[in-house]
Amino acid sequence: MKLIIMRHGEAQAFAASDSERGLTANGERQSEQMAAWLSQHLAGETIDKVLVSPYLRAQQTWQVCAPHLPAREVVTEPDITPYGQSDQVYTYLQAMFDVEAPNVVLVVSHLPLVGYLTNEWLQNGQPPMFSTSAMAVLDIDGQNDTAELIAMMSPRELQG
């Protein structure tokens, strides 16, 4: 099974509240570039489930990515905000993998959750940093509850 953990695209610095910060034009471009990269990486595999933070910038990130990434189901998940608890999200994902057995799941969320969540799976000590629109692609072994990092990609790496 594959788990893709994505940080939202570059967002505006200010809004009425943190949850209302929308993407910048650069954030839209970066997210679209990353969606195209992921589409090639998945080589025709459909995403079984997309979990998206309710925050505007994450919702907009998914909207930009959606035309490139066919998905069977998209769910707005209130527990994957910047303040989400990685251990609880990890447990939720484990249960989902056990019960639903999806082949590919995409999570669109925020720092610091994306780093901590990646580390819950990899157990490497130090959570990886995610630039805006960056993705970690993990291969999940559901029987052993282990994971291997297949790819870590950011917009800057695509350009360079």
Q: How would residue 6 be classed by pLDDT, with cut points 50, 70 and 90? A: very high
- pLDDT digit string (tens) for 144-159? 878 999 999 999 999 8
Sign of the alpha-carbon torsion through 91, 54, 130, 113? negative
pLDDT of residue 125: 82
13-59: per-residue pLDDT in tens?
999 999 999 999 999 999 999 999 999 999 999 999 999 999 999 99
Tokens of residue 119, six digits? 């580390």
Render pLDDT for 66-75 as a digit per residue (tens, 0 to 9): 999 999 999 9
Q: What does the alpha-carbon distance between residue 32 and residue 34 come to, in Å, rounded to a whole number?
A: 5
CB atoms within 10 A of CB 38: 21
Instruction: State the pLDDT at residue 159.
Output: 83
- The burial class, CB within 10 Å (0-12 / 13-18 / 19+), for 87 is exposed
| Residue 160 confidence (pLDDT) above 80 | no
Q: Are strands 49-52 and 104-109 parallel, antiparallel or unpaired?
A: parallel
- Which residues lie across from 137 on neighbouring strands? 4, 151
- CA distances for 20 relative to 12, 13, 17, 53, 59, angstroms: 9, 10, 5, 12, 10
* Complete DSSP assignment for 116-147: HHHHHHH--SSPPP--TT-EEEEEEETTTTEE
Res 121: pLDDT: 94
